[in-house]
Chain A
Amino acid sequence: MLQPLIYDIGAPGRIGVNLPPSDVPEAEMPVDLLREDLPLPEVGEVQVVRHFVKLSHLNYSIDKGLYPLGSCTMKYNPKINEDAARLPGLAQLHPLIEETGAQGALYLMHELQRWLGEISGFDAVSLTPAAGAQGEFAGILMIRNYHLDKGDGQRDIILVPNSAHGTNPATVTMAGMRVHELPSNEQGNVDLDALREACQGEMRDRIAGMMITVPSTLGLFESTILEVIDAVHDAGGLMYMDGANMNALMAVVKPGELGFDVMHYNLHKTFSTPHGGGGPGSGAVGVNEKLRDYLPGPIVDVVDEADESGAPLYGFVMPEKSIGRMKAFHGNFGMHLRAYAYIRVYGDSGIRDVTRYAVLNANYLRAKLMNTYKLPYPRYCGHELVLEGHFDDVEEVHALDISKRLMDYGFHPPTNYFPLIVPEALLIEPTETEVKEDLDEFVEAMEKIAEEARSEPDLLLNAPHTAPVRRLDEVLAVKQLVLCCAPALPAAGE
């Protein structure tokens, strides 16, 4: 163990905060309702600071170096956005304040809705979903209710390619619908024949829609995307775009103009809001006219046009046939304001550069690594590339071993074993904020690892050697299931 648990430091009676005495008379307490013990740590302020600083040193982060975790878009998180989020007028704004008292926040949300709609070619946007997965859930519920309203309640099947993120099929189940999985062809595209068979066969009247990621989870633009969209629309289904890979599309193509009916955005990927060690995310959802009235609410609209002073009044409205609220209040506003500041910096002439350089960086890595690692799809990639992390001449080495060895070279590993359709996948996404020198160092590390795999495979098999801990026993974790170190409390019925 590297740093003791917070419960294992401190001393009885110690406290980390200096609180004021009460300036009001003490009221009588309802003794029989009060707890006897509050088993929390007893540590001082300096101890708390040091504890968490020491823990922080055990983490890898974007601020430390290249974080090429495919499909997660680990780009630089601008510091100015953190300052903005901490302005008292934003950080201390109550969500249930009168709308007249929140015009700044509502203006910001209204602009962000419009900008996101413009970037993706959609007519309306709701910012309420708390994460990409919630955006997906909102999208599928909208599709479901759209068909229900049209008297098409039998449409309960959502087509999902086998390269999809796991959230896609899980979302379909949550919405009470069924998944029909589609195979991919050897170019990594959806198998059009299988799609047409599904759309024209006996399943036709049950097709509610299709979820697809663009570019695909292999980092490839689906060159037949227009045919895919047509086939599903012909069958009466709607098209959902998983916007996880939007960093490859900004000002390059608008999904709404391609014919998509609904998509979600990951503000924490494309629009630079920090990943926070696993969240918070933010998963706005955009739709065309067909689904506008079904958006999750509330959304921000102008509720009173400009008066003499020229300022319109913004307010929250629930769309007419809304699928409802996705969370309490109105989305992760702290993420909205960061995304707002981010888009503001690039503006109309700059936002395309985000995508252009993200795609340049990925293709540069592809060109540099394709002779060392197997490249399953030999064509230009989008913002990320997939390699096969194994060597025909050293069978015992797997993608995971390459990943662990990368830690020794000072890099965070790529995404492993996803997409599932590529054996030993290494999904590498450098993002546009990475400088060429660092990409070259990464290439060099990957080349050295390929050499080591042949000359000294144990170096890989036992990696990492320099990380704070060695490989972990995940089976033991499940077997012993120690999830909590707090002192046990007496509990009723036990």
Chain B
Amino acid sequence: MSYIPHTEAETGEMLAAIGVDSIDGLFDAVPESHRFPSLDLPPPMSEMEVAAEMLAISEVNDHGQDYAMFRGAGAYHHFIPSVVNHILLRGEFYTAYTPYQPEVSQGTLQATYEYQSMMCALTGMDAANASHYDGATSLAEAVTVALEVGRHKRRKIILSHAIHPQYREVARTYHQGRDVRIIGDRGQAGMIELVEMLDENTAMLAVQYPSFFGQIENIAALAEAVHEVGALLVVVANPMALSLLRSPGELGADIVVGEGQPMGIPLSFGGPYLGYFAIRRKYVRKIAGRIIGETLDADGKRAFVMTLRPREQDIKRERATSNICTNQGLMALAASIYMALMGKNGLRKVGELNYHKAHYAAERINQLDGFSVDMSKPFFNEFVVACPGNVGDINRALLEEGIIGGLDLGQHYFHLEDHMLVCVTETNSKEEIDHLADVLEGLS
């Protein structure tokens, strides 16, 4: 019986101890009219058969091992050192649960504390939580914090259109039941226009860094304008880009959120990922989700524990600001291992490889007839290419040549028909980039 270990004899002994004739007799409280329905499911399978079926399903997909990958847009194909997976596969980590009992959970607790510390280092913030579901929900939770900080008197939320379109959708899903206005992203407002929208009713303004289009803008001036009206600056940042760029904290951000997937987490068709959330110390009591803090045990030994618990739903119930219960524990562990392995020197080097390869690709593509790259602002590892024709057609042609091309921006932005968002990472060799440029040249 698969993962059920009972022998018939044992089952008999257990039933006798309970004093019931059969297991089915334990279900008397279930309305008889609805008890024991049959299920239209496929028949059982052995492990051998399941393994074969999963392999067959996986092979139908076009994936990053068989193709040269030039697609990013919020999910990135980076190198993951072997150590990450080996540690994640330790049952002590992946088959444990929330560290409600800290005495037997110090492994998870310390690893999470270290994760929080490294996220603070990357973002330039004072505190980070143990994570949210993904970058999009981290942004939605940042909106909640901003509303709390503004004591629900400030009801305007300004989002840049250059934040990932799905992140903005999720922020709207989260706050549809609340008295809040989310504006700023319907057109193509740039930094100056965003600043013009600020007023005394604004709770926060959010930008992406680098933007969804890959561009890097100096947000220091923006921070000043936001703070002038008493609002919060929220920055959605790609942590991989922060290996090179000045930290949002240094530039004046109040909350930094984003997607931790680039650091040691596979693409996995969109999840599970890692929503990181970092904040200035003065707002730390307003944040949702688990936070790990340092303390002492009864013998005075340093140890770690979930802290500021009274904010959370299981204690505060209907007065909690969020219902979040789990975090992305194992994904935070993956990011921790990744950041520890790369460290101060390695992460910068990965960042540089991304930067140089993306710029090499951009230069090559920009020289092609009919294609032009938007180089108006500095960029990290993604850039926008204006194409001579339909991006869908171009991507079909690339796929035949073993290349997964950039994202069709026209599907997300009306004004960007025939534009492609190309991503180049350290995993793309010069050969792959040259091949991409050569195939594109043949299409122009």
Which of B74-82, B154-162, B183-191, B193-201 touches A? B74-82
Kindly state the separation between the CA atoms of A92 and B76 in the bound complex, as whole angstroms: 10
> Closest residue to B342 on the A side, CB-wise?
A17
* B416, CB-defined interface residue at 8 Å: no
Q: Looking at the complex, which of A5-13, A199-207, A231-239 is the stretch in contact with chain B?
A: A5-13
B3 touches A76 (CB 8 A): yes
A474 close to B (CB within 8 Å): yes
A35-B247, A95-B267, A345-B50 known; 12 new pairs, CB 8 Å cut-off, are A24-B357, A27-B359, A88-B64, A97-B61, A102-B61, A105-B61, A131-B325, A257-B34, A348-B38, A380-B20, A407-B104, A492-B220
* Chain A residue with Cβ nearest B74: A328
CB neighbours (8 Å) of B51 from chain A are: 80, 83-84
Of A164-172, A284-292, A302-310, the one contacting chain B is A164-172
Taking a contact as CB atoms under 8 Å apart, the answer to whether B121 and A472 are in contact is no
* B218-253 with Cβ < 8 A to chain A: 218, 220, 223, 227, 242-247, 249-252
Chain A residues whose CB sits within 8 angstroms of the CB of B127 once the complex forms: 483-484
- In the complex, how many angstroms separate the beta carbon of A188 from the nearest chain B beta carbon? 11
Q: A-B contact count, CB below 8 Å? A: 705
Counting CB contacts under 8 A, is A317 at the interface? no
Q: Is the CB of A170 within 8 A of B318?
A: yes
Q: Give the contacting residue for A351; candidates B39, B93, B107; CB below 8 A.
A: B39
Q: Report if B262 contacts A (CB, 8 A).
A: no
Cβ–Cβ contact A93 & B269, under 8 A: yes
A22 an interface residue at 8 Å Cβ cutoff? Answer: yes
> Which B1-52 residues have a C-beta within 8 angstroms of A?
1-6, 10-11, 13-15, 17-20, 23-24, 26-31, 34-47, 50-51
Task: Kindly state the separation between the CA atoms of A404 and B331 in the bound complex, as whole angstroms.
Answer: 28
Q: Is the CB of B44 within 8 A of A345?
A: yes
Q: A87-B55, A347-B45 are in contact. Are A472 and B13 (CB under 8 A)?
A: no
Chain B residues near A378: list those with CB within 8 A.
Answer: none
Check if B333 sits within 8 Å of A277, measured CB to CB. Answer: yes
Cα-based distance from A123 to B6 in the complex (angstroms): 34
Interface flags for A390-410 (1: CB within 8 Å of B; 0: not) read 000000000000011001000
B61:A89 contact, CB within 8 angstroms: yes
Tell me, in angstroms, the Cα distance from A462 to B298 when the chains sit together.
Answer: 9
Residue of A nearest to B85 (CB): A86
Residue A333 is within 8 A (CB to CB) of chain B in the complex:
yes
The 3 closest A-B pairs by CB, nearest first: A329-B270, A176-B177, A89-B58
Are A277 and B267 in contact, with the CB atoms below 8 A?
no
In the complex, the answer to whether A491 meets B250 with C-beta atoms within 8 Å is yes
> B368 contacts the other chain (Cβ, under 8 Å)?
no
Contact of A275 among B98, B118, B136, B313 (CB under 8 A): B98
- Complex CA gap A326/B137 in Å reads 8
Decide if the interface of chain A is mainly helix, strand, loop or mixed. loop
Interface-forming stretch among A190-198, A352-360, A449-457? A352-360
In the assembled complex, the Cα of A344 lies from the Cα of B130 at a distance in Å of 33
Contact A330 B269 (CB under 8 A): yes
Return chain B residues, CB-CB under 8 Å to A95.
75, 267, 269-271
Shortest CB-to-CB span from B75 to chain A, Å, is: 5
Q: Pick the contact of B101 from A39, A89, A412, A470 — CB < 8 Å?
A: A412
Q: Which residues of B contact A281 (CB under 8 A)?
A: 326
Docked complex: A73-98 residues within 8 A CB-CB of B: 74-78, 80, 82-98
A323 part of interface (Cβ distance < 8 Å):
yes
| B421 → A minimal CB distance (Å) | 10
With a cutoff of 8 Å between Cβ atoms, the chain B residues found around residue A77 in the complex are 94-95
CB distance from A94 to the nearest CB of B (A): 5
- From the candidates A90, A350, A483, name the one contacting B44 in the complex (CB within 8 A): A350
Does B438 reach chain A (CB closer than 8 Å)?
no
10 residue pairs A–B, Cβ–Cβ below 8 Å: A95-B270, A101-B61, A107-B60, A166-B320, A174-B177, A279-B131, A324-B173, A354-B4, A407-B101, A476-B296
Q: Cα distance A268–B92 when bound, in Å?
A: 16
CB–CB A433/B5 < 8 A: yes
B45 and A472 within 8 A (CB)? no
Contacts of A20 in B (CB 8 A): 353, 426
Q: B3, A78: Cβ atoms under 8 Å? A: yes
What residues of chain A lie closer than 8 Å to B89, measured between beta carbons? Answer: 82
Q: Which residues on the A side are within 8 Å of B249 (C-beta)?
A: 489, 491-492
Tell whether, in the assembled complex, residue A118 and residue B40 are in contact, meaning their CB atoms are under 8 Å apart.
yes
Q: Is the CB of B102 within 8 A of A91?
A: no
- Given contacts A166-B314, A177-B177, are A278 and B360 in contact (CB under 8 A)? no
> Interface readout for A42-60 with B: 1 if CB under 8 Å, 0 if not?
1101001101110111111
- B324 interface hit (Cβ, 8 Å): yes
